[in-house]
A and B are shown apart, each in its own frame.
Chain A
Amino acid sequence: MNEREVLLKRVQICDFALADTALFLDTHPENQMALDFYKKYLEMRKSAADAYTSRFGPLVHSDYDGGPRWNWVDNPWPWQNEEA
């Protein structure tokens, strides 16, 4: 894995943990253990996303960093997997 893939994987791990916990919380909205778990991964997600976007560009539009180019449109798109 190159550095981009390593940093992206961290975001994907956090996002999956958040998505899966959100499903559990939908049916258990007052479960404190799940709420704490969600909060922990939310904080990890923030630092993982910052590390990725500061070097490799936006994951969502609102990651725009104020630079001179809308690098949202730059290849690769997620399904292109050109390295493989």
Chain B
Amino acid sequence: MWMYSKKLQYPVKIKNPNPAMAKIIMTQLGGPDGETGAAMRYLHQRYSCPYGEVTGILTDVGTEELGHMEMISAIVYQLTRRLCMDEIKQSGFDSYFVDHTTGIYPVSAAGIPFTMDYLASKGDIITDLHEDLAAEQKARTTYDNILRLADDPDVKDAIRFLREREVVHYQRFGEALRITQDNLDCKNFYAFNPEFDIRQARALEKSRK
């Protein structure tokens, strides 16, 4: 069960509108390596996860990603306030504006709506954690690219915070992978799938106690 907390994880205070930048940053809400995909990925993978520490990190990172969806939405909202029609036409924001005005709708920078095709939940914790490690690095690269494209210090400050969180999440998922492997057969990590072959997983746990 979730409770909403009426605050951003890190402050977003952007003074100057910039619809072209909004269109680029929107990709971290609705794009292939964005925060919506991240939240959906971890919050779906966790159910069949057999190890409490790993379930915990998937739950808590997934929850943080929901907060990052809100931060990206706040950035896009603040970048598209008080626009005149000339700014909308000249910035290339017109192709978004025609369908969504200045409402928040998760699309990639190229305008493709969010799809669950961007993520996987494989029912095998080793496989899922490798996906998660890759996803954090892909998001980190995207934030690095945004930092190359942005020049407003107000925008860069919030983006730098989000980029740093990708690095921290990558570190924690690496530790989760190590915890998973410590629970498996050290001669063959793939001898069984601990999310599916529950009896074998429990027998191995018992034999160690």
Contacts and interface: CB of A to CB of B under 8 A. Distances in A.
B52 A15 contact: no
B55 interface: yes
B53 A73 contact: yes
B154 to A, nearest CB: 30
B10 interface: no
Interface residues of A, number: 10
A56 to B, nearest CB: 14
A83 interface: no
Contacts of A15: 1
B47 A73 contact: no
A17 to B, nearest CB: 14
B68 to A, nearest CB: 18
A61 B52 CA distance: 15
Contact of B52 (A60, A75, A78, A79): A75
A8 B139 CA distance: 38
Interface of A: 15, 60-61, 72-75, 77-79
